[in-house]
Structure 1
Amino acid sequence: MSTPPIELKASELNPQGGVFCPNPKADMKLWNSHPKVYLDVAHTGEAKCPYCGTIYRLKAGETVSHAH
């Protein structure tokens, strides 16, 4: 049984365009989860955690602007 992807707004990403897993949006308790890992969502619009398999996806229509 797989869990549905966690849909994220661009405003929920950190300044580098990613999120950390475990993440409260994934309904995980931080004290009993895997080590914290950074996932780059902005680059491809989706990232999968190598530990738990949770998929974080940018919501349809959301865009990430990159400041240079």
Structure 2
Amino acid sequence: MAIGLGVDDLAAHYEYCRGAGCTITSEPADEAWGDRVVECLDPFAYQWEFSQPLKDWHPADGLQAARDNWFGAQ
């Protein structure tokens, strides 16, 4: 089972998961669509994805980041 939640304080959720015995499967990272995301597996094997909107993010920034990621920086 996978569970995704939007949160107000991603750093606090990340630290809680680390302390609660979760396996971090994806360290916090900024995504092209304007969220900062972290993923983990809890001790019961549930997959969690926590996300928080990035401040001062603009869609054009995400489009350029996705383009660079998928096709290489030009």
* TM-score, length of structure 2 as denominator length: 0.35
Q: Pick 1 or 2: higher relative contact order, CA cutoff 8 A, min separation 6.
A: 1
* TM-score, length of structure 1 as denominator length: 0.37
